[in-house]
Amino acid sequence: MAWMVASANGAAGIDAVFERFCAGELDVLDAVERAAWVVEDDPEDHSVGAGGVPNLFGAVELDASIMDGVTLRAGAVAGLRGFRHPISVARAVMERTPHVLLVGEGAATFARVIGAEPAVLETQASLQAWQRAIASLEAQELRDPLTMVRALTHDPERAVGTVNFLALDDEGRMASAVSTSGWALKWPGRAGDSPVIGAGNYCDATVGAAACTGFGELSLRTQLAARCVDLLAAGADPSEAASRAIGLLRRLDAPSSERIMHIVVLRADGQHGAASTRAGTRYAWRDTSVPRAVLAPRVVVALDGPA
Ligand code: ASP
């Protein structure tokens, strides 16, 4: 058996790699990395890789991380500009440096040194979306950049989008990958949860893996992916672990427009589940019993109730 789980926008990525993963042509790390390539290359996905909506000053900045659940090795990049596959740069950080996280210009220098493929990530559509957003703020007389970034990133319709992949093979090896262009119109240099191991991504093959999408500041403040895996270790099933992890956000001081979180979970025995603060959202999974990725509902967790 083999299993992959993803955020719903990762269904095509799962299907692109699953057969080779099952055949042993791709190991767990290859599977999550190459599945992420599919979404990073999709200009219609405005939250990951090429076509991601730019930051406040018009540049696309990418965050990504990958984790090997057997060794607990991890690699990540944040605020990376100008490369096609941030997930592969993250993997190279893990495999070719003594570091875990490289940021900004240092990450770009590393990407150049290893020969990562450069790419223009800003597309006509994403630049137009950026220009429209800036023009609408200017029309409201909002010109100070700090005021602008608050107004823009507090719009939940603009701020969301990331892809998560979790994989498990028949020998119990696990890996996880997360890739994103982060909050649309974020402050330049802002790193979200996706490149922070424990916050947006965590994988321990003895227990399971979890990854987040949503307002990364919430998962950064709570180390949410790692805490979700801790809940699995304590005996919760995957949906319950995802729901209870999201429930941990109730005590955070955050406006209701920012209380958005989604988690996908894959346990070391192949059981999986997902939860979200929003009704109607789904996640993708595939194992050898189905011919293509299945989209399944996430458990909905209301965050408005008492802590
Ligand atoms: N978690 C991502 C971030 O905060 C964005 C998202 O998933 O919507 O950068």
Block residue for tokens 């993803």 = 6
What integer is the mean pLDDT of 133-147?
A: 81
Residue 31 identity (one-letter amino acid): A
Residue with tokens 């950064």: 220
Pocket test for ligand 1, best of 213, 219, 246, 281 (most atoms within 8 A of CB): 213
* % pLDDT > 70, the chain: 96
Can you give the pLDDT at residue 66? 98
Ligand 1 pocket, Cβ-based, cut-off 6 angstroms: 160-162, 180, 182-183, 192-194, 200, 213-216
pLDDT of residue 42 exceeding 90, the answer is no
Which residues are within 8 A (CB) of 9 and not within 5 positions of it... i.e. 6 or more apart? 39, 45, 47, 48, 161, 163
Q: What is the mean pLDDT of residues 157-163?
A: 70
Distance 152 CA to ligand 1 centre (A): 14
- The pLDDT score that the predictor gives to residue 247 is 97
Residue 145: which pLDDT band, with cuts at 50, 70 and 90? confident
The pLDDT confidence band at residue 32, using thresholds 50, 70 and 90, is very high
Give the closest residue (by CA) to ligand 1 atom 7.
213
Question: For ligand 1, atom 4, which residue shows the shortest CA distance?
Answer: 216
**What digits encode the pLDDT tens for the residues 261-302?**
999 999 999 999 999 999 999 999 999 999 999 999 999 999
Nearest CA residue ID for atom 8, ligand 1: 160
Whether 187 has a pLDDT exceeding 60, the answer reads yes
Output the pLDDT for position 217.
94
**What is the mean predicted confidence (pLDDT) over 253-263?**
89
> 206-240 burial by CB neighbour count: b if 16+ within 10 A, else e?
ebbbbbbbbbbbbbbbbbbbbbbbbbbeeebebbb
Whether 115 has a pLDDT exceeding 70, the answer reads yes
Measured from the CA of 159, which atom of ligand 1 is nearest? 8
User: What beta strand segments (E) does the chain contain?
Assistant: 3-7, 62-68, 73-80, 101-103, 163-168, 174-180, 201-204, 208-214, 261-267, 272-276, 282-287, 294-297, 299-300
pLDDT tier for residue 110 given thresholds of 50, 70 and 90: very high
> What's the gap in Å between 154 CA and the centre of ligand 1?
12
| Listed range (97-106, 177-186, 281-290) with the worst mean pLDDT | 177-186
Instruction: Please give the mean pLDDT across all residues of the chain.
Output: 92
Expressed in angstroms and rounded, the spacing between residue 136 Cα and the centre of ligand 1 is: 23
Residue 216 CA: nearest ligand 1 atom is 4
Instruction: Write the burial class of residue 171 (CB in 10 Å: 0-12 exposed, 13-18 middle, 19+ buried).
Output: exposed
pLDDT band at 158 (very low <50, low <70, confident <90, very high): low
Section 44-69 average pLDDT: 87
Taking alpha carbons only, the member of 35, 37, 89, 49 closest to residue 181 is: 49
State the pLDDT at residue 228. Answer: 98
Residue range 111-116: mean pLDDT, rounded: 98
Cβ distance 194 to 209 under 8 Å? no
Q: Is the pLDDT of residue 200 over 80?
A: yes
| SS3 of residue 245 by DSSP | helix
Band the pLDDT of 153: cuts 50, 70, 90. low
Quickly count: other Cβ atoms within 10 Å of residue 124's Cβ.
Answer: 9
- Asked whether residue 45 carries a pLDDT value surpassing 80, the answer given is no
Report CA(167)–ligand 1 centroid distance (Å). Answer: 21
162 is catalytic: yes
> Which atom of ligand 1 is nearest to 183's Cα?
9
The yes-or-no verdict on residue 307 having pLDDT over 70 is no
Nearest CA to ligand 1 atom 9: 182
Read off the pLDDT of each residue in 27-36 and give the average, rounded to a whole number: 98
Q: pLDDT confidence of 171, banded at 50, 70, 90?
A: very high
State the closest ligand 1 atom to the C-alpha of 262, by its place in the atom list counted from 1: 7
Question: Is the pLDDT reported for residue 109 higher than 60?
Answer: yes
Ligand 1 mean position, distance from CA 286 (Å): 24
Pairing of β 272-276 and β 299-300:
parallel
Average pLDDT over residues 18-22: 98
- Sign for the CA dihedral angle at 237, 204, 242, 295 comes to negative
- pTM of the entire predicted model: 0.95
| Helix residue spans in 82-123 (DSSP H) | 86-96, 104-113
Q: Which of 215, 257, 276 to mutate to test the pocket of ligand 1 (most atoms within 8 A of CB)?
A: 215
From 109, 123, 153, 162, the catalytic residue: 162
The DSSP secondary structure of 150-193, one letter per residue, reads HHHHT-HHHH---EEEEEE-TTS-EEEEEEE--STTPPTT---S
Residue 178 is encoded by which pair of tokens? 């997360």
More confident residue, 71 or 186: 71
Q: Which atom of ligand 1 is nearest to the CA of 191?
A: 9
Confidence check: pLDDT of 156 > 70: no
